[in-house]
């Protein structure tokens, strides 16, 4: 999809969107985020590359405000998004709208001291004294997990939680389901965020289906999600649209709605984080979340097979070495 929009189009869309939402916004459905007991909205605004695509703080802030006015009450950012720009933009909103918002950020720090120093920087950029959730960002393969262990990274996250800089801690990955599953088994975390979409699940080894990418023969849905459920972790789905790769430019299909329904219908999933490079995307996602009904299992299987045959190869290659920034 083309995310380029003019200033005039942007402002006009923002006004129309807020007007459509109404002065008193209707809240979105909520779910319990696993053992945390928190109940954020099932839709979160991803504030990574899709928010950064708006180009400047004014436009980004208007988009965040529009999401909040539409009922979204979960913001997902990271220290590495735009080298702190995303946190700064989110912080411009949090200065006046912190109450009632579930705020998550992520750290790609890989030493004990760096986790703590970068957390201080995050809180300053975000204009808050704590966040609701701090994730270890983008766990890669076995070597990364070994480095996390050696450099006492999780000990630092425990300290962040103990000292109330973050209410909860978690781990994210869109690269290696088996390593994420191992980390979730090993560490005392509250939440996890993983790539959960219909295309990544659809063609898996051991089910009479093709093995597309030998480096990722399994899916998060198959390997890491069961571990998270067993430990009653708060599960957040990401890469729901494969960063729009699952929704071809100009497509008038119902794929966006079905993709979001699929991820939110997975057992244990509490929240779907979705980036919105256009306001039409935000409006559609909010409408889908507000009217959400679980997708029947047979429909999920059919849809997953259909979309995986077209997209899984490219997605596996894309996310094998992908790092959000």
**Backbone Cα Rg of the chain:** 19
Whole-number Cα distances in Å, 124 to 118, 214, 316: 10, 43, 36
Burial pattern 204-242, b for ≥16 Cβ within 10 A else e, equals bbeeeeeebeeebbbbbbbbbbebbeeeebbbbbbbbbb
Looking at the predicted structure, is the pLDDT value of residue 38 above 70? yes
Whole-angstrom distance, CA of residue 27 vs CA of residue 10: 24
* Burial class of residue 151 in the structure, from the number of CB atoms within 10 Å of its CB (0-12 exposed, 13-18 middle, 19+ buried): middle
Percent of the residues in the chain that have a pLDDT greater than 70, as a whole number: 79
User: Could you read off the pLDDT of 226-264 as tens digits, one per residue?
Assistant: 999 999 999 999 988 875 555 555 555 688 899 999 999
Percent of the residues in the chain that have a pLDDT greater than 90, as a whole number: 70
Q: How many C-alpha atoms does 102 have within 13 Å on its Cβ side?
A: 27
Looking at the predicted structure, is the pLDDT value of residue 56 above 70? yes
CB of 91 within 8 A of CB of 60?
Answer: no
Whole-angstrom distance, CA of residue 197 vs CA of residue 190: 22
* Mean pLDDT value across residues 26-42: 95
Q: Residue by residue, what is the 3-state secondary structure of 123-161?
A: HHHHCCCCEEEEEECCCCCHHHHHHHHHCCHHHHHHHHH
Higher pLDDT, 30 or 214: 30
What's residue 286's pLDDT? Answer: 97
Whole-angstrom distance, CA of residue 47 vs CA of residue 144: 24
Looking at the predicted structure, is the pLDDT value of residue 143 above 60? yes
* Mean pLDDT value across residues 171-188: 96
Token duo for residue 311: 């997209």
**Strand 74-76 to strand 102-107: parallel, antiparallel, or no bridges (unpaired)?**
parallel
What's residue 209's pLDDT? Answer: 40
Concatenated DSSP letters of 52-116: HTT-SHHHHHHHHHHHHHTT--EEE--TTGGGGHHHHHHHHHHHHH-TT-EEEEEE---SHHHHH
């Amino acid at each position: 999809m083309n995310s380029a929009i003019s200033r005039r189009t942007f402002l006009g869309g923002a006004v129309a969107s807020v007007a459509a939402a109404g002065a008193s916004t209707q809240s979105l459905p909520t779910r319990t985020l696993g053992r945390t007991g928190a109940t954020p909205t099932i839709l979160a605004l991803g504030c990574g590359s899709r928010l950064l695509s708006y180009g400047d703080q004014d436009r980004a802030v208007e988009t965040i405000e529009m999401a909040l006015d539409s009922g979204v009450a979960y913001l997902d950012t990271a220290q590495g998004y735009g080298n702190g720009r995303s946190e700064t933009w989110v912080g411009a909103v949090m200065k006046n709208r912190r109450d009632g918002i579930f705020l998550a950020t992520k750290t790609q720090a890989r030493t004990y001291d760096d986790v703590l120093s970068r957390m201080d920087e995050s809180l300053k950029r975000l204009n808050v004294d704590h966040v609701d959730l701090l994730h270890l960002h983008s766990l890669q393969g076995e070597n990364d997990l070994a480095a996390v262990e050696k450099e006492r990274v999780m000990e630092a996250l425990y300290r962040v939680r103990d000292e109330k800089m973050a209410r909860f801690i978690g781990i994210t990955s869109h690269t290696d389901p088996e390593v994420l599953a191992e980390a979730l088994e090993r560490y005392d975390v509250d939440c996890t965020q993983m790539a959960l979409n219909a295309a990544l699940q659809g063609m898996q080894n051991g089910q009479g289906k093709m093995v597309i990418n030998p480096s990722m023969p399994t899916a998060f849905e198959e390997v890491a999600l069961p571990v998270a459920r067993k430990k009653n972790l708060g599960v957040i789905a990401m890469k729901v649209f494969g960063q729009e790769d699952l929704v071809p430019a100009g497509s008038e299909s119902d794929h966006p709605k079905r993709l979001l329904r699929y991820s939110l219908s997975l057992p244990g999933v509490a929240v779907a984080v979705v980036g919105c490079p256009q306001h039409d995307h935000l409006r559609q996602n909010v409408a889908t979340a507000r009217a959400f009904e679980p997708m029947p299992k047979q429909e999920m299987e059919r849809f997953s097979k259909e979309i995986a045959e077209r997209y899984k190869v490219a997605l596996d290659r894309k996310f094998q070495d992908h790092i959000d920034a």
